């Protein structure tokens, strides 16, 4: 499978997932950032499972960035 085909598959999964998330948010009045973030994390994990070789073992991880003045950023999500 070529990278272009994989890219198209992942984009279709992302678009479908985005539509489902928006419909779910609207149907349930979902506005809490943490809950919305969880939905997007799950979508990202699903996209990874289709488009990234299994031996890469990528996952979505949450964390913080420590600034020069020792203060912490807001929570971020990263692929690790």
**pLDDT reported for residue 52:** 65
Residue 27, phi-psi category: left (phi > 0), alpha (psi -120 to 50), beta (remainder): alpha
Taking only the tens place, the pLDDT of each residue in 27-74 is 878 777 677 777 777 777 777 666 666 666 767 777 888 988 989 988
Q: What is the pLDDT of residues 5-28, one digit of tens each?
A: 777 877 887 788 778 878 887 887
β pairing state of 76-79 and 60-63: antiparallel
Which of 6, 43, 51 shows the shortest CA–CA distance to 21?
A: 43
Find the domain containing 14 and state its range.
3-79
Total domain count for the chain? 1
pTM over 0.85: no
């Amino acid at each position: 499978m070529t990278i272009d085909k994989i890219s198209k598959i992942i984009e279709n999964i992302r678009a479908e997932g985005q539509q489902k998330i928006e419909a779910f948010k609207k149907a349930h009045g979902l506005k809490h950032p943490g809950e919305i973030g969880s939905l997007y994390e799950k979508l990202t994990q699903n996209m990874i499972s289709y488009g990234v070789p299994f031996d890469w073992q990528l996952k979505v991880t949450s964390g913080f960035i420590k600034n020069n003045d020792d203060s912490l950023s807001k929570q971020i999500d990263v692929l690790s």
